[in-house]
Structure 1
């Protein structure tokens, strides 16, 4: 598989989000990589960002977005696995780690309509978790594994300190996406081979390589991609 262990394409990463100047502190964000196997082939859920977006317009990405205040207090049906919690604990307090995981689940629901959760009585809550809870579910954090981290280079119109989580479609309450919020104008389950010719951000292509490599080496050290002193580096954590 040619995506198994690609080098990180620094030039493509800079082209994905050209420098616009100014200083921004990266905001915490989380991404969810949903996987399944169909006819013997591994597939990943991908969405194409609508052309009008300021950041990564018209590119195919994983669902995800920034952490909201409500993610620090939202209820869940399960908690992070010990392994995932321990990996995140090396970087942050448990409250922040849990908020990142919840953001990955919430953003995926908002963008695709997919619920990574356990069935629960419907509940009326205010804020961004309202529709998720009204659907009769609580987030299933135990299904998440932490596999990568990346910080957007300085000077971009948006900067994120993004953690990438992965989960099997077996943890979804229903298997097929809906239109979601409209942030993604197309949503599809795609094989790694099908994604070769798509317009993918460099970081997305790199993390897809990690997904493929983890199928052969489950305990693979997770990568941390960032720019230091004008150079991209990939550190293994």
Structure 2
């Protein structure tokens, strides 16, 4: 598979991961952190863990794959093989920015990419099985950075380790904490994050004990001259 050339001046593929805890007496909560005031993209905003797809994410040996439904939806209007790469990016960004892990114990087959060496040293390989693809949005034109972002929803109960332990996190996000969804909109949020939170609430309301995806998911498409909204079946 040919890896794409990454150009930061162009639209870039990206992944964000919404972790949900349902053991909070005040209702479901999500993990959020604050971007630095000097960040080029969304400074000082509270966001979910996430970031751009790296070239190395295309060749990560996942310990468990995405569901067939998520893989099919991610493949729509996208390069071949991007689904597993986006899932790997989501798990990697979660690990880097929070120190939390979706993985299975195991030895990596072959050389370990630099960004993944910490996880490998910990004795784990990344797993995409807990991830549910639930939202896609392309950044509007005119922004300093533009992303084709895919949002994944996952249950914190499937994390390996303590969901309160952020000791292995890098310093990219500050004020990491679990925020009740009912209170999250009081934070300084990007518009698209508010929209995603509303969708998360709807999914959780319709789900039982386990996360259940709707028949289609929202896609805010700003790739062209005119913004369009459609759904991915």
* TM-score after normalising by structure 1: 0.84
Show structure 2 runs of 5+ residues with no match: 1-7, 207-212
1:200-215 to 2 correspondences below 5 Å: 200-215=189-204
Show structure 1 runs of 5+ residues with no match: 1-22
Mapped to 2, the partners of 1:228 and 1:139 lie a distance apart of: 31
Q: Paired residue for 1:188? A: 177
Cα separation, partners in 2 of 1:66 and 1:121, compared to 1, 3 Å: same
Q: Which has the higher contact order (CA 8 A, sep 6+)?
A: 1
Q: Paired residue for 1:151? A: 138
Mapped to 2, the partners of 1:176 and 1:155 lie a distance apart of: 38
Helix, strand or coil at the partner of 1:79: coil
Alignment check: 8 A CA contact 1:70 1:129 kept: no
* 1:209 Cα offset (Å): 0.4
Mapped to 2, the partners of 1:105 and 1:133 lie a distance apart of: 13
* 1:25 Cα offset (Å): 2.6
1:176 and 2:171 are equivalent in the alignment:
no
Mapped to 1, the partners of 2:223 and 2:59 lie a distance apart of: 34
Q: Paired residue for 1:9? A: none
Helix, strand or coil at the partner of 1:129: helix
Q: Paired residue for 1:3? A: none
* 1:105 Cα offset (Å): 0.5
Mapped to 2, the partners of 1:78 and 1:130 lie a distance apart of: 19
Cα separation, partners in 2 of 1:182 and 1:62, compared to 1, 3 Å: same
Cα separation, partners in 2 of 1:167 and 1:228, compared to 1, 3 Å: closer
1:36 and 2:50 are equivalent in the alignment:
no
Helix, strand or coil at the partner of 1:31: strand
Mapped to 2, the partners of 1:95 and 1:84 lie a distance apart of: 12
* 1:69 Cα offset (Å): 1.0
Cα separation, partners in 2 of 1:50 and 1:177, compared to 1, 3 Å: farther
1:142 and 2:129 are equivalent in the alignment:
yes
* 1:93 Cα offset (Å): 4.6
Mapped to 1, the partners of 2:199 and 2:183 lie a distance apart of: 16
Misfit runs of 4+, over 6 Å: none
RMSD over aligned Cα atoms: 2.0
* TM-score after normalising by structure 2: 0.85
The counterpart of 2:187, out of the listed 198, 202, 211, is 198
Alignment check: 8 A CA contact 2:75 2:81 kept: no
* 1:51 Cα offset (Å): 1.4
* 1:186 Cα offset (Å): 1.2
Alignment check: 8 A CA contact 2:138 2:223 kept: no
Q: How many residues align?
A: 215
1:234 and 2:229 are equivalent in the alignment:
yes
Mapped to 2, the partners of 1:229 and 1:136 lie a distance apart of: 44
